[in-house]
Amino acid sequence: MHYVYILQSKIDGSRYIGVTADLKKRFQEHNSGKAKYSNTKRPYQIVWYCAFLEKQKALEFEKYLKSSSGYAFTKKHLFLFL
């Protein structure tokens, strides 16, 4: 399985979108400071994730979520109740 995930910083509420084959390990890397890009805004919480059978599909969906259309989609559909 390949996971597309969204983390939210407990510091400033900013979001991080990523893809991984091992969600638990990757989440630990983000919160331990091993993930360079997200190091300054930790700790994080997982606010959403989705599993894909094909790596390519996961990568395509991650790319979409990082686009302006994907940002609007997440704001409208995924974070309705946060």
Cβ distance 45 to 7 under 8 Å?
yes
Question: Residue 21 has what pLDDT?
Answer: 98
- Looking at the predicted structure, is the pLDDT value of residue 80 above 80? no
Domain span at residue 59 reads: 2-78
Here the CATH number for the domain that contains residue 42 is: 3.40.1440.10
Burial bucket for residue 59 (CB in 10 Å: 0-12, 13-18, 19+): middle
- Looking at the predicted structure, is the pLDDT value of residue 82 above 70? no
The count of domains in the chain is 1
Q: In degrees to the nearest 10, what's the CA dihedral of 75, 79, 81, 82?
A: -110
Name the percent of the chain lying above pLDDT 70: 96
The model's pTM: 0.91
Mean pLDDT across the stretch 39-45?
92
Name the percent of the chain lying above pLDDT 90: 76
Question: Residue 47 has what pLDDT?
Answer: 93
